[in-house]
Amino acid sequence: MGLNRFCSPIRAALGLMVVALATSFSPSADANTAASANKAKAKPAAAAKSKARPKARPPAARKAAPRSRARAPVRRAPSVGQITGLHETADPLDLKSSVALVIDKQTDEVLFSKNPEAVLPIASITKLMTALVVVDAGLSLDEPLEVSQEDVRGTVGSRMRSALRPGTRLSRGELMHLSLMSSENRAAHALGRTYPGGLGAFVRAMNRKAAELGMSDTRYVEPTGLSADNRSSAVDLARLVRAASEHPVIRDLSTSLGAVIPVGPKPRPVEFRNTNGLVHNPEWGIGLQKTGFISAAGRCVVMQAELAGRQLILVLLDSAGRYSRIGDAERLRKWVSEQSLLPVFGRRAAPLPEPVAPQPPLPTGQAPLVGAIPSLPAVAPWTPAPKLSVPMPAIDPAKPWVQVPALPLPIAERATQGPTTN
């Protein structure tokens, strides 16, 4: 009994302490409850905000996402060779070009021909005649010229972006360099525009030079090749390559690999490259070249190159694919290299020496002759042969090589000019 009476006050004190402790912790619990409630209220607002403005995807996700609209393929107008059926002409090498011609420059031998007289648009091969007219006129290649708005308007049909903005000042030689190497249309137009007498006089000089070279199937209407009315045949272009290859400046500028030239009203360096990738190939000894392309002409290329130890002139016109003219040129190079005995047309063979008559043997028992033989007659002194009274006929400049009879092949008719590019 005494013990219970002693413990009861202690129990009461402990109970009061427990109640006090519970009361002291109750405010923090209420605070936590309030914070939880506030957080729960904030979640709907954040969710609404996220729905209103979605998160941006990372760059990798944007690139990987499929395009909603596919780009339509580019459809080009058919070339004149396709319209007239020249691409249906078969040949032993299965060339993709509708016109091909390979001629030995020194012997005038026709090694390969396919539709050589078909008259077709020649695109930027025109620029070879542009350069030839400038060089023949004796114009200073150091004279500074300025690209103008007239050059921009004159080349509006080109889809190739030009780095020569109006106000660009370059020398005539630099413009000719860009015209031959990179097929710059504004450069070629500026060369014709600044010719004495203007662009009309320049075009007349182009056609006059073509007539002098015997290019009877050739006509020019402007100096760039953007017009499908600039037309010629492979036979005529071989004459043009032969004449242009006589000028070292045209050979050097057309085969240049590349150049960095400051252009623009505020000059800045721009890199220009050769449009013919074969100039980088060590298996080709290219001495002169020019490429060309518009829709009406297809892919074209003319070259003067050393193949298998021979100086050859090669012409390829109206090739259908982007790289087919290069493939056709490689096929012709391999074919020429593999020929051990190439066909000879019109070559004058040197006369064979007369056979030496066998000498009779010495009689038996006769000693061989030794020392001087004074009894032999003296050798008559050499006298040159008399000159011919009639001079040899001169070579007709209109036909600088022997013409080989060809099979009757279709001749391209004139076609309406479609959309052009270069």
User: Which positions are annotated as active-site residues?
Assistant: 124, 127, 183
Structure token pair of residue 372: 């001087």
Q: How far apart are CA 61 and CA 320, in angstroms?
A: 39
Q: What are phi and psi of 286, to 5 degrees?
A: -80, 125
Report the phi/psi class of residue 91: left, alpha or beta, with left for phi > 0 and alpha for psi in -120 to 50: beta
Q: What are phi and psi of 162, to 5 degrees?
A: -105, 140
The runs of H, that is alpha helices, within 65-162 are: 80-83, 126-136, 149-154
Nearest to 157 by CA among 182, 123, 118, 197: 123
Say how many C-beta atoms besides its own lie within 10 A of residue 283's C-beta: 11
Q: How far apart are CA 112 and CA 100, in angstroms?
A: 7
Q: Specify the pairing of strand 268-273 against strand 258-263.
A: antiparallel
Structure token pair of residue 191: 């060369």
CB 314 within 8 A of CB 93: no
Q: Quick check: helix, strand or coil at residue 260?
A: strand
Beta strands in 252-400 (DSSP E): 258-263, 268-273, 285-294, 298-307, 310-319
Is the four-CA dihedral 229, 235, 236, 241 of positive or negative sign?
positive
Partners of 289 in the beta sheet?
303
Q: Quick check: helix, strand or coil at residue 101?
A: strand
Nearest to 98 by CA among 107, 109, 89: 89
Inter-axis angle of helices 185-193 and 126-136, nearest 10: 40
Q: How far apart are CA 417 and CA 101, in angstroms?
A: 25
Identity at 340, one-letter amino acid code: S
Q: Is 84 exposed, middle or buried (0-12, 13-18, 19+ CB in 10 A)?
A: buried
Nearest to 155 by CA among 132, 187, 127: 187
Q: How far apart are CA 203 and CA 13, in angstroms?
A: 124
